[in-house]
A and B are shown apart, each in its own frame.
Chain A
Amino acid sequence: MATLAAVLATTHHPFYLKATSAPPDQQIPQAAEWKRKVEAYRETLTRAEPDILVMVGADHFHQFFLDNYPTFMIGKAPRYDATFYNEEREFGLPKYVLEGHEELSGFMHRGLLDRGFDFSFSHELKIDHSIICPIITTRPDADLPIVPIYTNIFAPPLPSPKRFWDLGRAIRDIIDEYPSDKRIAAVGSGHLSLELGGPRQFGQTGPDPDFDRQAIEWLSTGNIDEILANVTHESMTKSGNATHGFMDLILMMGIAGPIAADYVDNLDLYHTMEAYFTWYPQERPA
């Protein structure tokens, strides 16, 4: 059976690459610290020696729009282009072509259907920054085949936080059953409190630093009970209008299970709290 080599849950900040590759005199003050933290975080994936990446993100109206927006979707393609024109324009993100892992995509899709998750699927999927940002931060060589999974954290009505947790648990189950000697890592991105296009955007801190601290504590300790007791769509809206990306971090913890994270770090940037979590649910690498 396959080995779950690592589970990573990270915030995705589309300006990381731009902020840390600008000429030093034009960099924001936190750029060097940010780079150090991201490179240390990257090491938590490298050391797990993964062969395949299951990547979790959310399409930000790049390929999908309100005429047909999938709630949960899996990519099943042999190859994935990445980075849309408006992401190059706004964030300075480079284009990529990522190899797909069709066999695991197929096994995952069937396994999800069997467990009551009736996924949409795509055989021609272009990946957006919710997956490319964590590639840049955790696997910049982009040298591993991926299985992309998209969730709807973006276009209401959204599934419940509990549903994201349950989906993570189902994905874990399927990885555990995958008949292969491969090492699989799951890498997903989301947000803590976040405001976009509203009055609390681009402030001195994220819109709700109290929530951010609490959320980091919950994820660090694997405390799904407190998350499900406290986090609702309404509470996330109060923390910032784009905070619902937190549910993808819940999903990732669902893949790991209700256990303490093996690696936790965070960085208070000017308008978001960045946070980085890694679990080694099966074996801790040397």
Chain B
Amino acid sequence: MSKYYVNKFLYTVDRDPELLRRYKENPAALVASWEQSIGPRLNDAEMSTVNHLTEAERRALVEHDYVALFEMGAHFFLSLTMFIALHDEDWSARSGPLSFQREFARRLEHWLGKDYPTIAI
């Protein structure tokens, strides 16, 4: 498991409007391209060779599966911000303000009263 690398995906995509657009339109293609050329970037000059997504992490990202990401301990702020960017506008137009955020909460209801998976790495 690479919680760090999942968070790096959320962090790098959420801050870039072009990557976000591609992640919304074709998540499988964006995740593949991210793993190849974006995830490994340490900075503008250096590449890192040490991080990899697991199959389950890759699937959760490709499927926009924020429940699975929560259960893997992805950072809640990164995950919420990213999925608001992907879905809030469509949900708001259809079902009113904050409807996506409430749906997000509803799909995690089975965690009420329990200790959440930790975001600590």
Contact = CB atoms under 8 A, between A and B. Distances in A.
B81 A66 contact: no
Contacts, number: 78
Contacts of B119: 155-156, 241
A96 interface: no
Given A61-B75, A197-B70, A198-B76, A90 B105 contact: no
Given A66-B8, A84-B15, A86-B14, A199 B77 contact: no
Nearest to A89: B85
Contact of A197 (B14, B76, B102, B118): B76
B80 A196 contact: yes
A203 B8 contact: no
A145 B110 CA distance: 48
B11 interface: yes
Contact of B79 (A86, A156, A197): A197
B14 A241 contact: no
Interface residues of B, number: 37
B6 to A, nearest CB: 11
A200 interface: yes
Given A86-B85, A90-B81, 19 more contacts: A61-B78, A65-B11, A66-B8, A66-B11, A66-B121, A84-B15, A86-B81, A89-B85, A90-B84, A90-B85, A196-B80, A197-B66, A197-B75, A199-B105, A199-B106, A199-B108, A199-B111, A200-B105, A202-B105
17 contacts: A61-B11, A66-B8, A66-B121, A86-B85, A90-B84, A156-B119, A196-B76, A197-B70, A198-B108, A199-B105, A199-B108, A199-B111, A200-B112, A202-B101, A202-B102, A237-B116, A241-B119
Interface of A: 60-62, 65-67, 84-86, 89-90, 154-157, 196-203, 237, 241-242
The 7 tightest CB contacts between A and B, nearest first, are A197-B76, A197-B80, A199-B108, A156-B120, A202-B101, A197-B79, A201-B105
